[in-house]
Amino acid sequence: MKKILTACFLVLFASFGLSAQGELNATVRIVTPRLQKYDRQLFDQLEGLLRDFLNNTKWTSDIYEQEERIKCNFIMTIMTEGDNNSFTAELAVQSTRPVFGSGYDTPLLSHLDKDIAFVYELGRPIEFQREAPDNQNLPAILAFYAYTIIGLDYDSYSLYGGDAHLSAAQQLATNMQNSNSAGSGWKPGDGGKNRNRYWIIENLLNPRVKPYRAAMYNYYRKGLDVMSGDLNTGKTNILLALEEIDKVNFAYFNSMIIQMFANAKRDEVTEMWKVGPKPQRDRVMQIMTKLDPSNSQRYKDIGY
């Protein structure tokens, strides 16, 4: 059965431990470039537990067929080893969705979270209760990204279709802010520069950013998904989506979600617009240079 695009409030109270086919088709890899104190076996076990947690949890009340599960990757790099099985890490999170009429998977999310701190002992199961998240920072982080990935995926198929799932991520973030043992990344000032989990979900649900989410629906559903049958219409709608994102960047300058868009889409946009009418290519180059100024040199390929 195709995903039922309903804004179901009950998703906010979904059980995290339910064993069933979930919405995600996630791969998990833990990299230990500087491992000294602890045995690699610990991380091999944790890798499998986190993969099962992501894939076997039912995050929504909707029914997914096997081929509908959302492809995503979680790569955790262990940065430091502390005492009492404590660690800090960076977590790269990526998700994609298929483009209609093609064999291409387009990126939805590409983000590096540098504020990961957790404690894990060999043999301990991964358990998480959303309403009582004390001492559960690592599964809470993965749950947050699971809801965010699902929300972005639903937004790409239906206008504001991800509302319920993004609200679930927001509620989780609020609960973690009130936890006595939450790590960094959940509060506005954590890490500085308005770049953490708090700001991801704040941006996505901020009224100033709502046109961005509408633009994402147009980019994917009215743009990429129609290109196999009508290339010009698809690219025209993608340009219109970029124009709306440019307006959001002006209304909420330096918002985190704009940089996340650029991180996920810069290669795709550059390749897509190497061919096309020069006025359109020039306009795309102007917009992407404003959205992603640190990579302005890359966008010059569009205008030539």
Q: Half-sphere exposure of 171 toward its Cβ, with a 13 Å CA cutoff? A: 17
Cβ proximity of 56 and 14 under 8 Å: no
Domain end call among 180, 203, 226: 203
**Pair (140, 242) in one structural domain:** no
Q: Residue 92 is part of which domain span?
A: 22-121+130-203
CA distance 106 to 92: 17
pLDDT of 7 strictly over 80: no
Residue 160 in any domain: the answer is yes
Residue 8 in any domain: the answer is no
Torsion, Cα of 200, 118, 128, 39 (10° steps): 130
Q: What angle do CA 253, 300, 267 make, to 5 degrees?
A: 70
**Pair (63, 107) in one structural domain:** yes
- Report the chain's mean pLDDT, rounded to a whole number: 90
Residue 220 in any domain: the answer is yes
Domain end call among 203, 227, 259: 203
The pLDDT assigned to 180 comes to 76
pLDDT of 165 strictly over 60: yes
Q: DSSP 3-state helix, strand, coil percentages of the chain (rounded to 5)? A: 50, 15, 35
Q: pLDDT band for position 156 (50/70/90)?
A: very high
pLDDT (average), residues 81-98: 95
The pLDDT assigned to 10 comes to 31
**Pair (181, 242) in one structural domain:** no
Handedness of CA 139, 141, 142, 148 (dihedral sign): positive
* Domains: count for the chain: 2
pLDDT (average), residues 194-221: 95
3-state secondary structure of 22: coil
The pLDDT assigned to 279 comes to 93
Percentage of the chain with pLDDT > 70?
Answer: 91
pLDDT of 288 strictly over 70: yes
**Pair (96, 165) in one structural domain:** yes
Q: pLDDT band for position 127 (50/70/90)?
A: confident
Residue 104 in any domain: the answer is yes
pLDDT of 19 strictly over 80: no
**Pair (298, 193) in one structural domain:** no
Cβ proximity of 166 and 109 under 8 Å: no
